[in-house]
């Protein structure tokens, strides 16, 4: 049985193919389109999944979409009803996409997958997260916790999974969201929402938790059971185009930081304070789940589960015996969750716990690969100099290059699914080099110097380097570096503050040791990635060190590379020293000088190329319209008709003789029609907002109804809302 899972239309759209319960392929659309966090329908990712499985659309049994769009639309309308007449700008921005595409997912799927005649399953957003958290895990039974910005209504949920079923017991609902709280501070600190949260987490250790109490006293009512409500007076994401309000800015005595401007100590203190609050909430959630469920294992998913600092805190508190975190924890993982929900929860198929405590995620190496012959043909076609070697020589030469201070682009096997590069599409370097962090950040990744790198460590050497007693194959846990590898700072280094603290050497693996002596650990075992394990083993033989730097193979603002061409372009546009493409090594100094082909130029406003047939049809259509117009004018007054008749003749001759000369006219016409269409749409939506939305909103306000439950309730002990238990499938066949 073949089940295709799809997530789309928010951010990080993706597709996943599950065949008889086995994950055959999964990938994000951004890797193919080269548009970071691409939210569009994952056309190319779907094509890849079907190609990997050798299937056509007609051979699919089910297609599963990761949320219910009509329920999400209901929440959107109720939000506007709550805040109207505020919110017009947000309404005008969101409604066209909703009315054009988001509400008609079924039609979109059928148009993108001609030949498919089966059922379309719609799971709820947090059901998809829960399924992605539990079903691929190594546990027969576990507690499940999901946290993100928002799905339909839910922003967090918890429940239990056993065998081939899970049950969601309670949830929190919009607008009260840990993910949106974190994103609001991300915006305030000058980083991009939905991608800059990693930067806030990396910045936090440079600051002090000065604002923790300010946040807890003013912005959030946090209960002992981890449930909370936000004071919405401080936020603007319900009705505005920003995340924070003027009251937020007054509380922290300043406007949001301008992107790319210098970071101040206040910015670092805010990041640290936010991280402390986030950690406290997640710790309370974990304790609450352990108490309520009695389970010994915990599964995590949702975008907040990518906060590996908080995950590490939960681990070190020993609240649960084992923790498993979905590596594609964000919306991309919803495609996987929807497919597995269909296979297990809906169809009731058996689920067996994997052997040797391994999970079903296959190292999350679920994307496309290129074999050596394909790469060889591509290199010859492009005339790029390369050296082909046997496997042993590849490992030897790469390990030698790392140990001599080179930065390596490593392209091997199947591309990773999720935001982390795990040794297949990686930039790697020597963790012992004190200058390597700054060098890779500024000259290779071209990003902020303060951002830390993850260590890739041999699984068998984990306890040697880190205070971690288990594997962490997906970089989802932050752990302290083992004390025997730490270096006591000098008196001068102790006096450093802010980003100057980067200059202090903190351990004998300084390139992967953050300033708080922690690291986001990736353990590498022979089972999940034997080639990457062999490379690190060879490096250890040469140097005595079983740790290297592993960071994603991409430049700032670009997705992780997918194809050999993507890898080569990144190699040539950065200061990567050599590139490994499977059995080939490419050296920078041997490559031809890059040509100025305007690869980075924004082409969104360039006229699309039309075929001769398309231009001919356009010319004939315009000639017909103008001829009819001329006939009508001749019938009316018999004077002005020559103008449209003459234009009709010009269009007719152009279409028949040289249709290409119509290209700029057609492009200008389409642009004008697009602008006019936007203007008319804006007018219609504005009228609808002030009549259909605002009038009922004012009436609801008069009678005291607040559909979003924005107020604190200090008399209650919990804000968790019980979820109906009679039908956890949630009518999966309907989008509402």
Is residue 710 within 8 Å of 232, Cβ to Cβ?
A: yes
Residue 354's contacts (CB-CB under 8 Å, 6 or more residues apart) are: 138, 360
User: Once rounded to an integer, what is the mean pLDDT over residues 641-648?
Assistant: 82
187: CATH: 3.30.420.40
Residue 603 confidence (pLDDT)? 42
Q: What percent of the chain has pLDDT over 90?
A: 73
The answer to the question of residue 257 being in a domain is yes
The answer to the question of residue 291 being in a domain is yes
Per the structure block, which two tokens stand in for 12?
A: 């990080």
Closest CA to 297 of 281, 315, 310: 315
The answer to the question of residue 685 being in a domain is no
Count Cβ atoms below 10 Å from residue 541 Cβ, excluding itself. 12
Domain identity same for 497 and 645: no
Residue 636 confidence (pLDDT)? 74
The tens digit of pLDDT for each residue in 6-60 reads 999 988 999 999 999 999 999 999 999 999 999 999 999 999 999 999 999 999 9
> Which residue do the tokens 């609240």 mark?
319
Confidence of residue 471 (pLDDT cuts 50, 70, 90): very high
Q: What beta strand segments (E) does 449-503 contain? A: 454-458, 477-480
Q: Which of 215-219, 319-323, 685-689 has the lowest mean pLDDT?
A: 685-689
The answer to the question of residue 37 being in a domain is no
Residue 205 confidence (pLDDT)? 94
Domain identity same for 584 and 616: no
Split into its structural domains, the chain has a count of 3
Give dist(CA 30, CA 12) in Å, integer.
Answer: 7
* Residue 241 three-state SS: coil
Give dist(CA 571, CA 3) in Å, integer.
Answer: 37
The tens digit of pLDDT for each residue in 183-215 reads 999 999 999 999 899 999 999 999 999 999 999
Residue 4 confidence (pLDDT)? 98
In terms of residues, how long is the chain? 736
Closest CA to 518 of 240, 299, 311: 311
Domain identity same for 527 and 649: no
User: Once rounded to an integer, what is the mean pLDDT over residues 126-137?
Assistant: 97
Residue finishing a domain among 295, 324, 341: 295
The answer to the question of residue 137 being in a domain is no
* Rg of the chain taking only CA atoms, in angstroms: 28
The tens digit of pLDDT for each residue in 476-492 reads 999 999 999 999 888 78
The tens digit of pLDDT for each residue in 414-429 reads 999 999 999 999 999 9
Is residue 307 within 8 Å of 201, Cβ to Cβ?
A: yes
Domain identity same for 427 and 507: yes
Burial class of 677 by CB neighbour count within 10 A (0 to 12, 13 to 18, 19+): exposed
- Adjacent-strand bridge partners of 6: 15, 65
The answer to the question of residue 475 being in a domain is yes
Residue 678 confidence (pLDDT)? 78
Residue finishing a domain among 252, 278, 295: 295
Closest CA to 524 of 510, 512, 536: 536
Confidence of residue 606 (pLDDT cuts 50, 70, 90): very low
The answer to the question of residue 95 being in a domain is no
Confidence of residue 725 (pLDDT cuts 50, 70, 90): low
Domain identity same for 629 and 496: no
pLDDT higher than threshold 90 for residue 498: no
pLDDT higher than threshold 70 for residue 597: no
- Phi and psi of 394, rounded to 5°? -60, -50
Domain identity same for 415 and 469: yes
pLDDT higher than threshold 90 for residue 595: no
Domain identity same for 555 and 616: no
Residue 680 confidence (pLDDT)? 84
473: CATH: 3.90.870.20
Residue 594 confidence (pLDDT)? 76
pLDDT higher than threshold 70 for residue 599: no
Residue 632 confidence (pLDDT)? 75
Residue 463, domain extent: 372-590
Per the structure block, which two tokens stand in for 453?
A: 């790198």
Residue 604 confidence (pLDDT)? 42
* Residue 486 three-state SS: strand
pLDDT higher than threshold 90 for residue 131: yes
Domain identity same for 191 and 231: yes
Confidence of residue 337 (pLDDT cuts 50, 70, 90): very high
Domain identity same for 427 and 531: yes
Residue 710 confidence (pLDDT)? 67
Domain identity same for 621 and 527: no
Domain identity same for 400 and 530: yes
Burial class of 94 by CB neighbour count within 10 A (0 to 12, 13 to 18, 19+): middle
Is residue 368 within 8 Å of 48, Cβ to Cβ?
A: yes
The tens digit of pLDDT for each residue in 355-412 reads 777 899 999 999 999 999 999 999 999 999 999 999 999 999 999 999 999 999 999 9
Domain identity same for 516 and 652: no
Residue 324's contacts (CB-CB under 8 Å, 6 or more residues apart) are: 133, 137, 138, 139, 142, 297, 298, 299, 300, 359
Average pLDDT along the chain: 91
Q: pTM for the whole thing?
A: 0.90
Closest CA to 129 of 156, 110, 102, 104: 156
Confidence of residue 503 (pLDDT cuts 50, 70, 90): confident
The answer to the question of residue 345 being in a domain is no
**Considering Cα of 615, then 618, then 624, then 625, what sign does the dihedral take?**
negative
Per the structure block, which two tokens stand in for 127?
A: 């059901």
Residue 246 confidence (pLDDT)? 96
Q: Which of 496-510, 567-581, 721-735 has the lowest mean pLDDT?
A: 721-735
Q: Which of 88-92, 289-293, 573-577, 623-627 has the lowest mean pLDDT?
A: 623-627
Cα distances from 346 to residues 62, 140, 146, 353, 729, in angstroms, run 11, 18, 20, 19, 7
Residue 729 confidence (pLDDT)? 57
Q: Which of 62-66, 75-79, 387-391, 530-534 has the lowest mean pLDDT?
A: 75-79
The tens digit of pLDDT for each residue in 79-114 reads 998 899 999 999 999 999 999 889 999 999 999 999
Cα distances from 92 to residues 64, 604, 605, 684, in angstroms, run 30, 22, 22, 10
């Amino acid at each position: 049985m073949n089940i295709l899972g799809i997530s789309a239309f928010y951010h990080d759209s993706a597709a996943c193919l599950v065949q008889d319960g086995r994950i055959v392929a999964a990938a994000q659309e951004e890797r193919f389109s080269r548009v970071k966090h691409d939210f569009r329908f994952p056309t190319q990712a779907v094509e890849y999944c079907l190609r990997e499985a050798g299937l056509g659309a007609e051979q699919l049994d089910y297609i599963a979409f990761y949320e219910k769009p009509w329920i999400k639309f209901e929440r959107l309308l109720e939000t506007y009803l709550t805040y109207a007449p505020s919110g017009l700008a947000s309404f005008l921005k969101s409604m066209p996409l909703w009315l054009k595409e988001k509400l008609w997912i079924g039609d979109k799927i059928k148009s993108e997958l001609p030949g498919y005649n089966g059922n379309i399953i719609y799971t709820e957003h947090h059901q998809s997260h829960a399924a992605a958290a539990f079903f691929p895990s190594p546990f027969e039974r576990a507690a499940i916790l999901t946290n993100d910005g928002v799905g339909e209504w839910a922003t967090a949920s918890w429940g239990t999974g056993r065998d081939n079923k899970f049950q969601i017991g309670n949830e929190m609902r919009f607008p009260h969201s840990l993910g949106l709280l974190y994103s609001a501070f991300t915006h305030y600190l000058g980083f991009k929402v939905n991608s800059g949260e990693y930067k806030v987490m990396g910045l936090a250790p440079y600051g002090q938790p000065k604002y923790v109490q300010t946040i807890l006293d003013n912005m959030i009512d946090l209960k002992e059971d981890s449930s909370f409500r936000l004071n919405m007076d401080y936020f603007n994401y319900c009705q505005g185009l920003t995340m924070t309000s003027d009251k937020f800015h007054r509380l922290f005595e300043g406007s949001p930081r301008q992107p790319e401007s210098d970071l101040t100590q206040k910015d670092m203190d805010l990041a640290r304070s936010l991280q402390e609050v986030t950690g406290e909430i997640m710790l309370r959630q974990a304790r609450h789940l352990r108490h309520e469920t009695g389970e010994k294992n915990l599964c995590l998913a949702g975008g907040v589960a990518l906060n590996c600092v908080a995950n590490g805190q939960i681990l070190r508190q020993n609240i649960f015996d084992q923790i498993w975190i979905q590596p594609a924890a964000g919306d991309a993982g919803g495609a996987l969750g929807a497919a597995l929900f269909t296979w297990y929860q809906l169809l009731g198929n058996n689920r067996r716990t994997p052997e040797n405590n391994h999970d079903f995620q296959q190292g999350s190496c679920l994307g496309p690969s290129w074999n050596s012959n394909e790469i060889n043909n591509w290199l010859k076609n492009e005339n790029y100099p390369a050296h082909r070697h046997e496997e042993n020589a590849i490992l030897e030469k790469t390990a030698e290059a790392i140990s001599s201070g080179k930065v390596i682009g490593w392209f091997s096997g199947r591309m990773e699914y999720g935001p982390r590069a795990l040794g297949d599409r990686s930039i790697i370097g020597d963790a012992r080099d004190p200058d390597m962090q700054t060098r890779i950040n500024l000259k290779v990744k071209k990003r902020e110097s303060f951002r830390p790198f993850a260590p890739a460590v041999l699984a068998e050497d984990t306890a040697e380097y880190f205070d971690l007693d288990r594997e962490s194959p997906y970089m989802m846990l932050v752990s302290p570096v083992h004390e025997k590898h730490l270096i006591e700072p000098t008196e001068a280094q102790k006096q450093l503050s802010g980003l100057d603290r980067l200059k202090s050497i903190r351990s004998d693996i300084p390139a992967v040791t953050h300033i708080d002596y922690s690291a986001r650990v990736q353990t590498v075992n022979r089972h999940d990635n034997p080639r990457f394990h062999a490379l690190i083993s060879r490096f250890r033989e040469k140097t005595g060190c079983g740790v290297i730097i592993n960071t994603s193979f991409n430049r700032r603002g670009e997705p992780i590379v997918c194809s050999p061409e993507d890898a080569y372009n990144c190699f040539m546009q950065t200061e990567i020293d050599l590139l490994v493409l499977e059995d080939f090594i490419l050296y920078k100094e041997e490559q031809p000088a890059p040509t100025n082909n305007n690869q980075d130029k924004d082409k969104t406003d360039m006229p699309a190329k039309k075929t001769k047939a398309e231009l001919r049809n356009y010319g004939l259509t315009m000639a017909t319209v103008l001829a009819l117009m001329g006939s009508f004018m001749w019938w009316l007054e018999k004077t002005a008709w020559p103008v449209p008749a003459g234009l009709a003749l010009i269009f007719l001759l152009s279409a028949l003789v040289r249709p290409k000369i119509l290209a700029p006219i057609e492009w200008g016409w389409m642009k004008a029609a697009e602008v006019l269409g936007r203007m008319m749409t804006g007018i219609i939506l504005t009228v609808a907002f002030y009549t259909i939305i605002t009038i009922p909103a004012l009436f609801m306000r008069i009678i005291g109804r607040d559909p979003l439950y924005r107020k604190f309730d200090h008399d209650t002990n919990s804000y968790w809302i019980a979820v109906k238990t009679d039908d956890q499938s949630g009518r999966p066949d309907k989008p509402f």
